[in-house]
């Protein structure tokens, strides 16, 4: 990956001026929770790839052509925080991004995230999903999460190099780092108001 990797302090400073932010990572890594929190703190519109692009009510997948049209319209907007990995749409999203935050905890953390979410929401739809898409858990999905680093990350790294080599990237390896970044953002916000 040829992108400039940021530390937490540099990422917080960049977040002070970034208007288009991608939050990517494995399911269960905490990207939706983080993106929504950041959206509120930075007062930027939140776009969920799951809810707004890929899924329609009742776990019906949106046709690919229509999904790509939605992504094109969303990235054309002047401001957004977009949560979702989807390597196939990165060529559309990366050229417009000011910053990529890649949630990359251990697979145990992501696995715990999807299982605990399923237990907590079983039978209900989470806010970042389309209506009537109750939380579900399958062995295939658990296998996807377990193998994400091996199967998905190389493609993500290649797309970052090919379509967003000038976009800075902050890699988050733990929930503690997520909290630290949010603390840095709060400190920079108070310093700029002073």
Q: Can you give the pLDDT at residue 127?
A: 87
Tell me which residue of 95, 77, 101 sits closest to 159, measured CA to CA: 95
Alpha-carbon 112 to chain mean position? 18
E strand spans, 3-59: 20-25, 46-48, 55-56
Q: Which numeric CATH code is attached to 8-193?
A: 3.40.50.300
Q: Can you give the pLDDT at residue 38?
A: 93
| Mean of pLDDT over the chain | 93
For 38-89, how does the pLDDT look when each residue is reduced to its tens digit (9 = 90+)? 999 999 999 999 999 999 999 999 999 999 999 999 999 999 999 999 999 9
Q: Can you give the pLDDT at residue 192?
A: 59
pTM strictly above 0.85: yes
For 127-157, how does the pLDDT look when each residue is reduced to its tens digit (9 = 90+)? 889 999 999 999 999 999 999 999 999 999 9
Alpha-carbon 13 to chain mean position? 19
For the sheet with 46-48, list strands across it: 46-48, 80-83, 20-25, 99-103, 169-172
The domain spans of the chain are 8-193
Q: Can you give the pLDDT at residue 4?
A: 84
């Amino acid at each position: 990956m040829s992108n400039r990797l940021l530390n937490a302090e540099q990422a917080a400073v960049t977040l002070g001026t970034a208007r288009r932010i991608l939050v990517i990572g494995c399911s269960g890594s905490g990207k939706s929770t983080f993106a929504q929190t950041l959206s509120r703190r930075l007062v930027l519109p939140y776009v969920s790839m799951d809810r707004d692009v890929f899924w329609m009510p009742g776990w019906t997948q949106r046709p690919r052509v229509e999904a790509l049209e939605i992504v094109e319209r969303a990235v054309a907007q002047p401001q957004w925080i977009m949560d979702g990995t989807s390597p196939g749409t990165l060529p559309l999203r990366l050229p417009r991004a000011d910053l990529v935050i890649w949630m990359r905890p251990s697979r145990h953390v992501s696995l715990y995230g999807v299982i605990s979410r399923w237990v907590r929401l079983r039978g209900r739809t989470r806010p970042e999903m389309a209506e009537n898409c109750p939380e579900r858990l399958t062995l295939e999905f658990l296998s996807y999460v377990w193998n994400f680093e091996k199967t998905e990350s190389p493609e993500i790294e290649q797309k970052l190099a090919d379509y967003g080599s000038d976009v800075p990237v902050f890699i988050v390896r733990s929930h503690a780092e997520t909290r630290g970044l949010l603390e840095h953002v709060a400190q920079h916000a108070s310093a700029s108001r002073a």
